[in-house]
Structure 1
Amino acid sequence: MSSHDGVVWSEGMFLLPQHFQQQERHHRARLAQVLRAVQPHGWGFATLKIDAAQLALGNLALSACEGIMPDGSPFALTDEELVRLRYPVADGERDVQLVLALALNRPGAADTETAPGDDSLARYRISEVLVADANTEGGEPACLQVCRLNLKLAREADVAASHVFLRVARVVERTAAGLVVLDRQQVAPLLAWRSSPVLARSVDELIARARQRGVALAGGLGQGGLGGMTEIQQYVMLQSVNRAESLLMHLASQPALHPELLYRELVRLAGELAIFGQERKRPRAYPPYRHDRLGESFVPLIQDLLQALSAVAGADVVALALKSGAFGFRFAQVPDINLYQSARFILAVRAQVPDEELRKSFPSRLKIGPAERLHDLVNLQLPGLAIQVLPTAPRELPYYPGFSYFQLSNDHPLWADLVDTSGFGLHVAGSFPGLQLAFWAIREA
């Protein structure tokens, strides 16, 4: 049975290779023990680059590889070692998980071999190097035998019982042309999150989405609409998006950050933004963090964040500010004439009258049409655009208590004239105490 206890050194003892081997085992075991205590997920790739040129030739090979194995064994492969590390994908081979494998420590068995074969269970490969005397200038270098980790690329199913390993990539298939197709959504276990192109692209996309939504929200503040509680809600949304953007930019500037810390911050962000993106306004129960399956941990989380940031900004909703004019006229400028063909126009109304009375009487009191035609519609008692009562608020809009929602009908001849005008004009006849109006265009998918 192998022991990791330290050697008792005493004067006059007869030194054997086993003494130094035991002391080295002791140091390695204690180092691994401390690493596990300080960082439970302190293993994975610090650097991992797959050779794209070799994929075209039917092989999986690496152009850079550095990290720590799950048993605490560190590695940083040289160019010579990388050339030796290659897995030829056979014709017809598909849905195969490939790993970087290192044989398990076997008490009583030899740890080293000079030229280990593919089936060797030796943990180390013996190599010779010339080493200079660091304390003697001009001295002759000595040839020393050193050991290097005997790593290999293999199928997970072939080494699961005999090796400790790190997942590298999943082979989807080898095409008829010999090209190896990999699962681009799989994320290898990492020590530095930005070593994964998938995570790097995802965080960059989140930053762009947050910046875009923040600009849209900031531009919509103070431009009219419901005011009051709605203005406060818009400020709260903008506050959340600004915080998200700043946090994401900081995370992006820390490429060596451990992925568990990235996951922790993104989960916290998802919980904060859930009120904007989730139907129940509560965060989802995400699967536990799996360091060996980072893709399964991050993909649903990032999808929810992208959805929440889109919902916060109302990417499909354009607020149309209503500006008051003379004689009780109100005008709303439409920034894009394409909205007349591709959007629904929603008017929200609140007044100090019973809701049923408001929904029943408001459509007949409203004149709405092209801004330049509003005077004629009112003075000549001409029919304007019709509006229909909506039973509930459109799902694209936040819910505002006490408001009734109406949708403009686009089957009136006046609708075609809107393209050549500056926007909508509307007038409400009669008295509606405490009248509040808000107007939106909702782009159709």
Structure 2
Amino acid sequence: MISNKVIWFEGMFLQPQHFQQQDRHTEFLFEKHLQLNNPNLWGMRELVFDQNLLAIGKIAFEKANGFFADGTPFDIPFIDQSPTPLTLNEQHSHCTLYLALPLKRAGSADAGQSTTNKRFRYQAVDQDIQDSVADSNKVQTIQVGSLATQLLTDHDDLSEYTVIPIAKLLEVESDKSVQFDKKFIASVIDINSISSLKQLLTELYELLNHRADALSARLTDNKAASTAEMIDFTLLQLINRYQPMLAYFRQKQSLHPELLFHTLIQLMGELATYTHKKRRCTTEATYNQKDLFNSFQPVIQALRESLSTVLQQNAMIIPLTRQTQSTWVGQIQESNMIKECAFVLSVKADLPSQSLQSLLLAHIKIAPVEIIQTLIGRALPGISINPLAVAPRQIPYHSDAGYFVIQKNHALWEKLIHSAGIALHIGHQIPGIQLELWAIHH
């Protein structure tokens, strides 16, 4: 299509082609600027099907507006006429439904009467237009162009059209009842047009809010606050950065899905640092305005998995109660921790580290609370411990503490599953002793 600028000069003989060419040039400039800004600024802004016609197996619009990919705006039925309703049959099952507009074609007429069999981009219709000059009531009937949109499916030849995917039909029954694919997301320029995208945004906002509450409670607890991992602080900082952004998106009157996608892949990548074993994001994110479901689905799935992992504490302290001068008892709340966690004892005392280690290895007994007195009375060994050269990274490091891992290969360890608690007995007086028992997820 020739889109060069018209050269106007004094004394020229005006023809309709001059004004038509000027329109083409203006549309060309608009389209190129639109594509330069963002090639994905097309799709539906509002989409409402006529439910009365749908009940008898016909697809038609009650209201539809937006932009085609070439920048052409449409507003049905207020400015442009509604396309002819599409009568459905069983052959339309598993078809994608499109709103279509004939492409601009060089050497072909753009507008014409609907009485012909030719396919035009604009349908010429008569319209009464009032003179807009003040105090003028003159009305003139002129011909204007109404976009000649059509409803097409995969069964049609779409090569001569610019199209917008608006729905996917799963089943069309013999009684004309229609079942839509609820997972399908129409190409839109505003997520408020599609309930599924709004629901995804709400779900992620609530997930972030829930995770932030859990992390905040974990860090502000008096006992945990003095020993919490720095990773929890930075993770909470990350969530606190994105939660207000999603809250803002929820209240925006208009939000392009690509902006939401851009924000979510950033969140996905940052969360991967904390939740993936390799600390790398492995989900490939590709945005396709024609296929929003497959654009968002892997990102949403990765975010759900990451935010579920966030709640799993890497290490949990098991409070120890001092029952006697030499015996401590702790309750393991979840029995699955017995098998799934490593247990580390942090010990501080008013002794040199080597002396503390020697005394502890020689005199400590660990066993289910029901058995500990039997072991003490009969001078039998309990579950053993081994010293660690450094503190596990999941728990706080104290320069004056010794760290010991409890050996789980002892026969008594399995009995902890059905025990009321774990007991530790130290058969030697150690000045200033302080014990912390940690369960660490593998």
Shift of 1:265: 1.2
Q: 1:3 to 1:284 in 2, by over 3 A?
A: same
1:392-411 Cα shifts (integer Å, max 9, x gaps): xxxxx996698747779676
Determine the structure 1 residue equivalent to 2:37: 38
User: How big is each residue's C-alpha offset from its partner over 1:12-36, in whole Å with a ceiling of 9 and x where there is no partner?
Assistant: 2222211111111111111111111
Contact 1:62 1:82 in 2 (8 A): no
Matched AA of 2:159: A
What's the counterpart of residue 165 of structure 1? 163
Deviation string 1:275-308 (CA, Å, 9 cap, x unpaired) is 2332322012414221222211111001101111
Look up the equivalent residue of 2:42 and give its one-letter code.
Answer: W
Report percent identity of matched pairs. Answer: 24
Partner AA of 1:366 in structure 2: I
State the alpha-carbon separation in 2 of the partners of residues 219 and 187 from structure 1. Answer: 37
Return the alpha-carbon distance in structure 1 between the equivalents of residues 368 and 163 of structure 2.
70
Cα distance between partner residues in 2 of 1:381 and 1:128 = 107
Report the AA paired with residue 230 of structure 2: I
TM-score normalised by structure 2 residue count? 0.78
SS at structure 2 position matched to 1:281: coil
SS class of match (1:365):
strand
Output the CA distance in 1 between the equivalents of 2:199 and 2:427: 56
Mean CA deviation greater in 262-271 or 398-407: 398-407
Which residue does 1:237 correspond to in 2? 235
Tell which deviates more after alignment, 26-35 or 238-247.
238-247
Residues 357-398 of structure 1 show CA distances to partners (whole Å, capped at 9, x for unaligned) of 99xx89x822344xxx79977877799xx9899xxxxxxx99
Task: Give the drift of 1:227.
Answer: 6.2
- Letter of the 1:206 counterpart: L
Q: What corresponds to 2:215 in structure 1? A: 217
Q: What's the CA shift string for 1:200-249, capped at 9, x where partnerless?
A: 11111111111111111211223546964x52222222222222322222
Residue 289 (1) aligns with residue 284 (2): no
The equivalent residue for 1:99 is 98
**Which deviates more, 12-21 or 317-326?**
317-326
Shift in CA distance, 320/332, structure 1 to aligned 2, threshold 3 Å: farther
In the alignment, structure 1 residue 135 sits paired with structure 2 residue 133: yes
What SS does the aligned partner of 2:92 have?
Answer: coil
CA shift for structure 1 position 42: 2.0
| Larger Rg over CA atoms | 2
* CA distance in structure 1 between the partners assigned to 2:56 and 2:338 by the alignment: 50
- Gapped runs of 5+ residues in structure 2? 348-352, 386-391, 398-402
Matches within 5 A, 1:68-147: 68-78=67-77, 84-115=83-114, 120-137=118-135, 139-147=137-145
**TM-score normalised by the chain length of structure 1:** 0.78
Aligned length: 413
1:41 alignment partner AA: N
State which of 192, 195, 199 in structure 2 corresponds to 1:194. 192
**Distance between the aligned counterparts of 1:403 and 1:305, measured in 2?**
36
Using the TM superposition, name which of 131-140 and 20-29 deviates more: 131-140
Which of 426, 429, 433 is the matching residue for 1:429?
A: 426
What displacement does 1:331 show?
5.5
Q: Is the 8 A contact 2:365 2:384 kept in 1?
A: no
Name the amino acid aligned to 2:344: V
Equivalent AA in structure 1 for residue 269 of structure 2: G
1:57 counterpart = 2:56: yes
RMSD across aligned positions (CA): 4.1
The question of 1:155 aligning with 2:150 is answered no
Please name the residue that 1:392 is paired with.
none
State the 1:130 CA deviation: 2.0
Q: Which residue of 2 aligns with 1:20?
A: 19
Q: Does 1:48 align with 2:47?
A: yes
Contact 2:365 2:383 in 1 (8 A): no
For each residue in 1:320-352, what CA deviation from the matched residue of structure 2 results, as whole angstroms up to 9, or x when unmatched?
Answer: 6515435365565788xxx56999784621458
Change (3 A) 1:93 1:156: closer
Matched, 1:325 2:322: yes
5+ residue gaps, structure 1: 390-396, 419-423
Seen in structure 2, the aligned counterparts of structure 1 residues 398 and 53 have a Cα distance that, compared at 3 Å, is farther
C-alpha distance after superposition, 1:93-118 (max 9, x if no partner): 3221211111111223222233267x
1:271 is matched with which residue: 269, 272, 283?
Answer: 269
Matches of 1:47 and 1:175 in 2, distance apart? 27
In structure 2, distance between residues paired with 1:403 and 1:292: 58
Q: Which moved more, 1:125-134 or 1:343-352?
A: 343-352
Cα pair distance change 1:345/1:267, threshold 3 Å? closer
Q: Is the 8 A contact 1:244 1:269 kept in 2?
A: yes
For the 8 Å contact 2:5–2:21, the answer to whether it is kept is yes
Matches of 1:405 and 1:161, distance apart in 2? 70
Q: Distance in 2 between matches of 1:55 and 1:376?
A: 78
C-alpha distance 225-251 of structure 1, shift in aligned 2 (>3 A)? same
Return the offset for 1:185.
Answer: 2.0
* 1-structure distance, mates of 2:176, 2:13: 59
1:321/1:349 CA distance change after superposition, 3 Å: closer
Question: Which one-letter code corresponds to 2:437 in the other structure?
Answer: L
